[in-house]
Structure 1
Amino acid sequence: MRSINNFEKAKRSYLTSIRIFWLLFALFYGQISLSQTHDSIKLIKIDSVVGDLDNDNIDELVVVYDSNLEAELGNVRFLHIYKKNTDKAYKNNPEWLLLKSSNKAIYPSESGGMMGSGYENMEIINGILTIHHFGGSRDKWSKTHKYRYQNDDFYLIGFSSSYMNLPSYESVDYNLSTGKIIFEKEIDEYDESGEPTGKVIKHYDTLLHKIDLPRIDNITLGTQKIYSDKTGITVYLF
C-alpha cells in the first residue's frame, strides 16, 4: 500500500540522517531517554496532538519535548512524529514507531522573553501540522509554521508572523508553495497633543519570494531576512 511504502521510505531516510548514532527510546510517564554513544539526552513531554498527516485514515502522534541540552535561549526542544504500528504479529511491538524527529521546528525553552516559553500550542487540521509560538513583553510577537506531508517527507508550506508595539501592528503571511508574501501594517494616528484621533493609517505590500520548501528537520528559524519598502516591515523568516 502507498502509505506503508511512504512510511518505510521516510523511516530509512530518518535512520540515514542520524547515521552517527542509534536512537533508543522508551516512553515512561511522558519522559524519554535517548542514548548516544556515551551521552544521555533526557526528553520530557510538554505537549502532544494526534491527527492524520499522511492521508491514510490513521492518526499520527506528534509530541513536543523539552530536553537537557542547552541552547542560547534555554534548552533545545524536540518535535517527534510517530506512526501508528499496525503490525500485530509480535506481542512486544511498540504502539508507536518514530517517523520523524526535529530539534529545529520548536523554539528553545526561553525564547518567549518575559512571556517565558515561546511555545504556545500545535494542531492538526486537514492534514496540516500547525505550530504556534508567542512571546515578548511590552511589545508582543507571534509566529506560526505550517507543515505538510508530501514527497515522503514533512515540508514547511506556510509561515506567518505578527508584531505589536503600540501604536503600530505588523503582520506577514508567507505562502511558500506559491512564493507570495503579504505585508500589512496599521498605525494608530495621534494628534499634536498626543491624543488618539481614532484614525488608522494602513500600509499594504506583496512580494514574490520562491524558495525550495524546507524540511521540518533542517529548517533554520529566524535567519532569512525580507524587507518591504512600502510598509517598512523587516521580517526574519521561519
Structure 2
Amino acid sequence: MREKGVAPILLRGRAALLSLALFFLSSISAENIPGLDPAFPPKLIPETHSILRAASGDLNGDGMADQILVIANNKEQKSGDINESWRELRIYLRQKGKNAWKPVLENERAVLCRNCGGMMGDPLGDLRIENGTFLIQHSGGSRWRWAYTHRFRWQQGGWALIGETSESYDAMNSESRVKDHNLITGKYHLDTEKDGKKTRKVGYEKKGLKFLRNFDIYKEMEE
C-alpha cells in the first residue's frame, strides 16, 4: 500500500527542483551574453524577446558604461519572412543611481533579418563600442560575398553615421572591392583587385549626415 501523501510531496519537491534549475539556467544564459552589463535589469527587455548581441561602453562621455542591444522577438527565430523577422537595435544610457538605465533609441531597420545573409546564414556580425563610437557589422552572400560596417557617433543631437565600409569579393578568384568612406570629411579609399591587378582610388564624396533614428540598412545596401 502506498503511503498517503508521499506522492504529492515528491511531485512538489520535483517541481521545486525543476523551477530552481530553470532559474539558474536563465540566470547563467543571461550572464553569459558577451557585452551585457551584469547590472543591466532584464525587466527592460520584453519577455517575448531575446538578446542577440550586446555591447557595453561609454557612448556619451560621462564616464559610465552604456548599453547597446540587438533584440528579436522569439518568433523571429522561426520565421524566414522578412516582414515577420524584425530585429531591433536599442540604446540605453546609464544614469546616476542604482541600476538606472534610460532607453534613448529604438530602431527596427538597423539590423538585417536572420535569413538576409543568403547561403552564408545569419548576416549579423559584431556589435562593438570603441572610443565613443559604436559599429554594426553584417556579412553574407554565396560565391560573391559581401560585408558592411557602419559606425555611429553622438553629435548634433543624435547618433550620426560617420563611417561606412563596404566589401565584396568573389570566393572563387581574387576579384574584390573595398570602399572605406569617412562620412564626416567625405574622403574615401576604394581598393579593387581583378585578374591579379590591384588599384586604389582616393576621392571625396560629401553626403549629408544620416542619423541612426532614421537609418535603414536595407536601403543602404541598395545604394
AA partner of residue 62 (structure 1): I
Counterpart of 2:190 in structure 1 is: 183
Counterpart of 1:65 in structure 2 is: 71
Aligned equivalent of 1:201, options 197, 203, 217: 197
SS of 1:103's equivalent?
strand
Structure 1 residues 163-216: Cα deviation after superposition (integer angstroms, max 9, x where no partner): 1112301101111001123211112x4xxxxxxxxxx20122233222221111
Q: For the Cα contact (< 8 Å) 2:112–2:218, is it kept in 1?
A: no
Alignment of 1:157-172 (within 5 A): 157-165=162-170, 166-172=173-179
Aligned equivalent of 1:144, options 141, 149, 158: 149
Structure 1 residues 30-64: Cα deviation after superposition (integer angstroms, max 9, x where no partner): 9515xxxxxxxx43211111000111111100010
Partners of 1:95 and 1:45 lie apart in 2 by 19
CA separation of 1:174 and 1:73: change in aligned 2, threshold 3 A: farther
Counterpart of 1:78 in structure 2 is: 88
Alignment of 1:1-238 (within 5 A): 27-28=42-43, 31-33=45-47, 42-67=48-73, 68=75, 72=82, 75-87=85-97, 95-165=100-170, 166-187=173-194, 189=195, 200-223=196-219, 236-237=222-223
CA separation of 1:137 and 1:74: change in aligned 2, threshold 3 A: farther
Partners of 1:144 and 1:73 lie apart in 2 by 23
TM-score, length-normalised on structure 1?
Answer: 0.67
Q: Which moved more, 1:203-212 or 1:162-171?
A: 203-212
SS of 2:119's equivalent?
helix
AA partner of residue 82 (structure 2): E
Instruction: Write out the 4+ residue segments of structure 1 that deviate beyond 4 Å after TM superposition.
Output: 68-71
SS of 1:204's equivalent?
strand
Q: For the Cα contact (< 8 Å) 1:73–1:110, is it kept in 2?
A: no
Q: For the Cα contact (< 8 Å) 1:66–1:109, is it kept in 2?
A: no
SS of 1:105's equivalent?
strand
Give the structure with higher Rg (CA). 2
Identity %: 26
Over the aligned positions, Cα root-mean-square deviation in angstroms equals 2.4
CA separation of 1:211 and 1:106: change in aligned 2, threshold 3 A: same
Partners of 1:53 and 1:152 lie apart in 2 by 13
Higher strand residue share: 1
Partners of 1:206 and 1:179 lie apart in 2 by 11
Q: For the Cα contact (< 8 Å) 1:73–1:109, is it kept in 2?
A: no
Structure 1: gaps of 5 or more residues: 1-25, 34-41, 89-93, 190-199, 225-234
Shift of 1:147: 0.4
Counterpart of 1:14 in structure 2 is: none
TM-score, length-normalised on structure 2?
Answer: 0.71
SS of 2:61's equivalent?
coil
Q: Which moved more, 1:201-210 or 1:52-61?
A: 201-210
SS of 1:203's equivalent?
strand
